[in-house]
Structures are given as C-alpha cells and as structure tokens.
Structure 1
Amino acid sequence: MIFKTVIQSGVLILSLMAVNVMAAVSADQVAKLGTTLTPLGAEMAGNADGSIPAYTGGLKTDAAAVTANGFLGDPYAGEKPLFVITAKNVEQYKAKLSEGQMAMFTRYPDTYTIPVYVTHRSMSVPAKVEAAAKVSAAKTTLSADGNALKGFTDSRFYPFPIPSNGLEVIWNHITRYRGGNLSRQYVQAAPQANGAYSLVGFQEEVAFPDQMSGMSPADSANVLLFFKQEVTAPARLAGTVLLVQDSIDQIAQPRQAWIYNAGQRRVRKAPQVSYDGPGTASDGLRTSDNFDMFNGAPDRYDWKLIGKQEKYIPYNNFKLAQTTVKYADILNPGHTNQELARYELHRVWVVEATLKSGERNIYAKRRFYVDEDSWMIAMSDLYDGRGQLWRVGQSMLIPYFSRQIPASTFEALYDVVAGRYIVSGMSNEEKTFVQFDRKNSAADFTPSALRSAGVK
C-alpha cells in the first residue's frame, strides 16, 4: 500500500511537472507585453546606470533616406565611438564580452578592436507582428520533447515572448519576423589567412506559406518557410540551385532539400543540407546549421538557459551596409574591418547547447547570445569535441527601419584555430538591396522548378 502510494505520488508530481513545462504563460504574464515588457517580451525599462535606455518603439520608418533600389541610409552617421576596446585594455571590459570575443583579442592582438557606441534600442516590428506575439504567448507550447510547437498556427511569430527555458529562446530566433516573401542578392567570401579571397555570388528567395498561392491550410500547417538559393558566381559554380522546405516540427517531418547541379543538369535530394552538413561553397568553414547563426531541428542538443546578461554586441551596423563601402574595405586578413563595425551595450539571453550523448555534430557545445529586442542571435561561441573554443560567430545586427524588420548586415564565422573566417550576406556592390513583397506560388518551390532556375 505504501509502495503504491509512493508510485501514485510520483506520477502526480511528474504530471504536474509536465503540465508546467507544456503550459503557455498565464494571462497575467501576457498582460505584461506592451506594459512592463515590450510587445516582443524585452524589458521596457533601461538598466540601472542608464547605459541601456528604455525602449520607446524603435526607429521611425523615415529615420534616414532609402534609395530607389532599397539601400538604407545611416541614422547614426554623425556618432563617434564612446571608447574602443583593444587587446591592451580588454581586461577592463571582459565582464561584458563573450568568451569568443576574448579569443579574438588573443588571436589578433594587433588588429582586432571593438568600437563601442551609445546604445540605441532601434529594433521594431509591425503592429500585426506584435499582436501575433501576444497570441503566441497565450497559446503556444512546446511538445514533450521540445522539438515541435503546439498551438502555433494562429500566429507564426515569436512563440515564446516570455520564455522559461533555453529552447524557447532559440525557437523565437528560428520563427522571428523576416519581412515576408523576399529576394536578395549578396556575396560570400572565405579569406585565406593572408587575406586573399574570391567572391561567391548568390540570389536567394524566401517565401512563407501564408503568403503563397496554391497552398491549402492542410499543406501549410507544418511549413515554416521555403528557401531557394542560386549560385550566380564564379562561373564554375554558377547555376547550382538549392531548394529547402523547412517544417515547424522537423522531427515528425524532416527538412526537405534538393540541389540542381548545373554541370549534370540533374535534381537530387540533398539530405546533407542539415545539421553539420557542409555549407554551400563554404570551403569547409561553416555547417548547414551555422547559417543564420542557427537553423534547423534542435533535437541533437540539450538546451540550457544561462540567463540574461549585458554584453557589447554588434548593433546598428549601418556603416557596414553603405554602398560607398566596398567588399575590399570589409575583408581584411583574419577578420572583417572592425573600424567599420559598431557595437553597443544590450541585454541578451544567454543559451547553452550541449550535444546529447549518442548524437553527432562537429560542435560539442554552443553558446548563443540572443538580443532581447529582436530575438536574433547576435553572437555564438562554438566548441569542438575536446571542449576547445573553435569558432566565433557574429551577426552584424541592423534594423531595416523602413520595413520594421530586425535583420543583419552580414554574418561572419571566425575559426580562431585555423586563423580563417567566412562572411556571408554582403550586398554593398550589388544592384539592389533586399526586395520585399514578392509574389510567389507553391509551384515556384518544387524540385521540378529547379531545372528552369539553374543556368550554366
């Protein structure tokens, strides 16, 4: 009888724990969104000493000029750094730096710097997205294994604006607002240790099921987005096209990917475009799940929420996006040109991912620093199987203020062991910046459509 009672009590406790994990936040918590918390869940107030200001809605949509082909002006062009962190004074600031940033100073003591500017909480999203986040907070829950979202179909953005664990923070990054259907032209470079590089050109399209013709609600229920990427240069790679369909629950319905090889004129399934499969034309310097700082299924890791911290992170990097800045100005030996970069003090959610026993990934541990205002991963520290810091990721955050979209100028991944890096997303010398309001149909993102997209 005693044994039976103990077992029943244990079952009840486990049931209560499961409910606690699965439950959406309470109505009282949801009511904080837009009051003590911003509509996306950040702290509305500034910090104690005022170095992080209160949130006042982000940049206005007319904050600076926007060219006819979409390039953004710099609302903060007249500002100068408050101070510059160098290898000589880094110890003074290390409490607000990541381990990866400290490693960059060690690896490049003579050239690596962090110019710190006054903090502007410039990120914003449209009112409809703010409303969607509030719906998400009230309705969305994680599945028992954490790899799927339940009750998310009503909103599609920011499932956990008031997160209670590390995986919920990462889901906010994965499902963040990206501005709807879009296309963009950009280049990628992987400089050698001596600074020599070749540019790889890309044309990308991203589309979302609720903004596409030819998709029924049943077809789109588990679809997160469609992604199509064509290599446009150099000639030896041009015409190769990648197609990806990302699902919300990638365990029940794994990512679907296909590649059109221009040389063979064939479309093939591409299961390697996931987890630690090699990134496109990356020279082995990044994995598929490094793209966008982290993407794809989170099932191979245990996720731990370290907490919220104040860090100097890349922010408001308008200078790096100007058309007057050329790729050669950005790409230096060892790292991108830090004189063009901008860092600010912001609050970030720190999340640590540890590879599960029996699972495989070249990164045994990852640490992510997620901006509280945008839910974008701003920085990452990536560790090998020996526990050694291997690669350092930075996303040079920027708001597309005219469209109210949290975004990035480019992202870079630094190999502090090999002394090389890869940078992707530069558009300075392209004909157009990101183009939005694209009209897409489901037929545009099928394997049969790849052959017509590929050009040799």
Structure 2
Amino acid sequence: MNAKKALLKSGVLALSMLATSVMAAVSADEVAKLGTSLTPLGAEKAGNADGSIPAWTGGLPKNAGTVDSRGFLSNPFADEKPLFTITAQNVDQYKDKLTPGQVAMFKRYPESYRIPVYTTHRTATVPQSVQDDTKYNAANTKLVEGGNGLENFKTANPFPIPQNGLEAIWNQIVRYRGGSVRRLVTQATPQPNGSYSLVYFQDEFSFPTSLTDYNPAKPSNILFYFKQRVTAPSRLAGNVLLVHETLNQVKEPRLAWLYNAGQRRVRRAPQVSYDGPGTAADGLRTSDNFDMYNGAPDRYDWKLEGKKEIYIPYNTYNLDSPNLKYSDIVKAGHINQDLSRYELHRVWHVVGTLKAGERHIYAKRDVYIDEDTWQAAVIDHYDGRGSLWRVAEAHSQYYYDKEVPWYTVETLYDLISGRYLALGMKNEEKQSYDFNYKASSSDYTPAALRQAGVR
C-alpha cells in the first residue's frame, strides 16, 4: 500500500471512530451514577469546595409556596437580601465568575447595570417518570448520522452525561418543560431611550405523548408541536405560527406554516429557522434565539469546554410577581436589574463555531447551560468579525407545584444598537402558565390555523 492510500485509510478510520464516539451511549457504570453521585439529570450532587454552591437534596417540594388564583407562584425566598451587588465599579473582582457578555454589559451601561447576587438554592427537579426516562436515555439514546436528530429517546434530557458539545446542546433543545402548556406572554423591544410597545402572544407547546389522542403503537417523528398566535397590537392580531419540530431532522426537517390574518392565507414558512427573523421582534432576534436556542444544530461545530461556576439569573420569582406592571420591568438599555436575582451555579460551557461554508449572522455562540436543569442561562453571540454583539440572559424560575423548570423572562441585549428584547413577561396577564392544557394532534394541523387566527 502506498503512502497516499495508507493516509486515506487512516483518515477514514479516524472519522469512523469519531462518528462512533458521537453515536455511542455511555457505559452502564456511568449510568449507575445517576441518582447517586449525580442527580437524576446528571448534575454533580455534591456542593462546591467552599460551600457557596450547596449539595442538591431533591429540589423544592411541591408545597414550597402558595399559588394564587391565576397560577402565579409565591417567592419561597422573599425574605432574602442580596449577599452583594456587582456594579461597574467592582466588576473586576468578579470577572472570573461572569461571562464576557455580562462584563460587556457593565461597560455599556456603567451607571445602571448591576447584578444582585443572592444565596444559591438548587431548587429544581422533575417528575419521577422523567427521571426514569432520563436514565433510559443515558443508556440508549444516540445521535442520528450528522448529529441532527435523536433515536431511542424518551421525553427529555437525552444525554444527562454528555460526551461532547453537541450532546449538551441537544439537552437544552429537548429539556423538560412539562407536557402540554399554554401561556399568555408579552414581548418588548425598547428604543435606546426606553420607549416601547408590547406584542402579546398566546403560545401552545405540546409533546405528542401529552396529547389526548396519543397512540404509542404509532411512533411519530414529531418531537413537539408549537403554535403561537399574536393577540395584540391590532395590526398583527390574528397572525399565527405553527411549527412541527421533528425528532430526526435528517429524515424530515422542521415544518412550519404561517397564517396571515390580513390575507387569510396559510403559507409554508421555511424562514422560521436558523437566522430567519423572529416574530414581531423588530430585527432584534433570530428564529433560533427563541427559547435561548432552538432548532437544528447542524450549522455549528459544538465544542464542550467543560464546567465552570458563574453568576446566572436564578429563582427569579420576584420578576414574575403579578404585583408588577410591565413598566416596572422594561427600562432603557436593559430590564430593571433591581428586580433580578443571580446565584452562583455550575454551568456547562459549550462553544458553537459556524462551520465553513455555512451561513448565519452569528459566527460564534458561547452557551452556558445550568447543570441542574439543562436550560441555557447565558449565551454570548459574536458577529462575523469576531466581535461580541448580543448577550442573552434567561431569568428562570422553578414551577415547584408542577415540577417544571422554565424561563420567566428571556432577554437579548444588542451591545451595538443599545436596544434589547424582553420576551415572556406575563405579570399583567389573566393567567400564568397553564400546565393542565389539553390538546389533540388535530389542533396542530395547517387546516386548524385559520380557525386559530380568528380575531
């Protein structure tokens, strides 16, 4: 065999071994750590060395607080005060526990931006059935060819013990968010001077297994259904987006449709993916900025940098208070940080670098994923010149009465324009998240869009 053929053969072997390592589930010994040295979702059960991150002891109980008639939760930590507050004057002391994007926010808004740091509480858990499915996934779930889908997967958290960055990103994409849920939320895109108007949404989100007509004998390639109806302002009211997110996107890419109320027409919407414009976002977010990061991860190479301890928004019950007005939250430059709460938590750091030949307005994404929930907490976005451009922060809470971790408000700050987007506020709405929402597959057909869009 000549040198050229030998080199080619070794290269094919190396690629084969790489593919095998990407596709392989973890060993039985590793799986056995779930629920012992690791939490049921794969986080380190022990606290950190100095005790500033405590051990995980099972999360908050379902009766950790009261739930009002609209479904809003009381704050279990209402009596706590910040341990300290990070400002532009002392930020250098804490740089090692902040992301570059968070540090940049202090430089952009030195007079107003601050991070109040509170005692860390590891509040989150999920139902026992989801814990059981997570353990099954650890032993059985694999990435399909190219990493653009999953096989042998149940419910959520496909890779609780991730072996690479792509697996960690898939955990964010398909983390547990309850079964079916309906929510009424608002989105603001303030001008640099703080003036804004609101867009109102009714979102519906369902996994097939939570539908009333689910048939386990007929497996589907649908990962989840998503429907979003704009209810205000009047110029946008009645427009509806429908998404069928597929489990194996090699076999079948995401399917999306839009109903335009003015035209009374349903159209396919291939632009609802990647860096296509986000709904009514005034150009301030992409489609894959929704839910911090969503959709097919194939345009990036994802590198798992490991774990680190950083201050992230956490247990932000105060920011979700029904006693607040939206004007209390939305301010010039950024949301009212006095209403926020940050805690020190361990996160998985994953770097997504745009692949050669692929197109996206973000050339790099630095993703910081909370180890206890698999929710992305902070994402720093870089443009094609390598400059830090946008900083996303997810202010999260744990819906202890339903055992569901989720976001309270997603923020995406544009460091260049001085504008930002705040999505998910519901303080003034008639209802919090409805986790008892019942839906059937017929509710998520293109034919159902016209009815959903009736003003």
* Shorter-chain TM-score range: over 0.9
Give the match for residue 435 of structure 2: 436
Give the match for residue 158 of structure 1: 157
Which aligned segments of 4 or more residues in structure 1 are displaced greater than 3 angstroms?
A: 1-18, 213-220
Opposite residue 280 of structure 1, the aligned amino acid is T
Q: Secondary structure of the equivalent of 1:133?
A: helix
Give the match for residue 197 of structure 2: 198
**CA shift for structure 1 position 455:** 2.3
**CA shift for structure 1 position 20:** 2.7
Give CA deviations for 1:241-292 in whole Å, capped at 9, x if unaligned.
Answer: 1111100122321111111111111111111111100001000000000000
Q: C-alpha distance in 2, partners of 1:190/1:37?
A: 40
Give the match for residue 29 of structure 2: 28
Structure 2 stretches lacking a partner, 5+ long: none
Opposite residue 168 of structure 1, the aligned amino acid is E
The aligned runs of 1:377-388 (5 Å cut-off) are 377-388=376-387
**CA shift for structure 1 position 198:** 0.3
Opposite residue 83 of structure 1, the aligned amino acid is F
Whether the aligned pair in 1 keeps the contact of 2:144 and 2:248 (CA below 8 Å) is no
The aligned runs of 1:369-448 (5 Å cut-off) are 369-448=368-447
Matched, 1:257 2:256: yes
Matched, 1:183 2:182: yes
Give the match for residue 101 of structure 1: 102
Opposite residue 429 of structure 1, the aligned amino acid is E
Opposite residue 416 of structure 2, the aligned amino acid is V
Give the match for residue 287 of structure 1: 286
Q: Select between 434-443 and 89-98 the one with higher mean Cα deviation.
A: 434-443
Matched, 1:135 2:136: yes
Q: Secondary structure of the equivalent of 1:197?
A: coil
Give the match for residue 296 of structure 1: 295
**CA shift for structure 1 position 8:** 6.4
Matched, 1:348 2:351: no
Whether the aligned pair in 1 keeps the contact of 2:97 and 2:311 (CA below 8 Å) is yes
Q: C-alpha distance in 1, partners of 2:58/2:101?
A: 31
Whether the aligned pair in 2 keeps the contact of 1:69 and 1:432 (CA below 8 Å) is yes
Give CA deviations for 1:142-172 in whole Å, capped at 9, x if unaligned.
Answer: 22311121221xx121110000111101101
**CA shift for structure 1 position 449:** 0.5
Q: TM-score, normalised by structure 2?
A: 0.97
RMSD: 1.6
Give CA deviations for 1:203-250 in whole Å, capped at 9, x if unaligned.
Answer: 111111112244555865211100111101111111111111100122
Q: Secondary structure of the equivalent of 1:374?
A: coil
Whether the aligned pair in 1 keeps the contact of 2:309 and 2:347 (CA below 8 Å) is yes
Q: C-alpha distance in 1, partners of 2:8/2:361?
A: 41
Aligned CA distance change for structure 1 residues 8 and 304 (closer, same or farther; 3 Å): closer
Give the match for residue 333 of structure 1: 332
Aligned CA distance change for structure 1 residues 7 and 454 (closer, same or farther; 3 Å): closer
What is the aligned length? 454
Give the match for residue 266 of structure 2: 267
Whether the aligned pair in 2 keeps the contact of 1:209 and 1:220 (CA below 8 Å) is no
Structure 1 stretches lacking a partner, 5+ long: none
Whether the aligned pair in 2 keeps the contact of 1:228 and 1:243 (CA below 8 Å) is yes
Q: TM-score, normalised by structure 1?
A: 0.97
The aligned runs of 1:209-220 (5 Å cut-off) are 209-214=208-213, 216-217=215-216, 220=219
Matched, 1:119 2:120: yes
Whether the aligned pair in 2 keeps the contact of 1:306 and 1:352 (CA below 8 Å) is yes
Aligned CA distance change for structure 1 residues 319 and 425 (closer, same or farther; 3 Å): same
Give the match for residue 87 of structure 1: 88
Whether the aligned pair in 2 keeps the contact of 1:251 and 1:297 (CA below 8 Å) is no
Q: C-alpha distance in 1, partners of 2:310/2:40?
A: 22
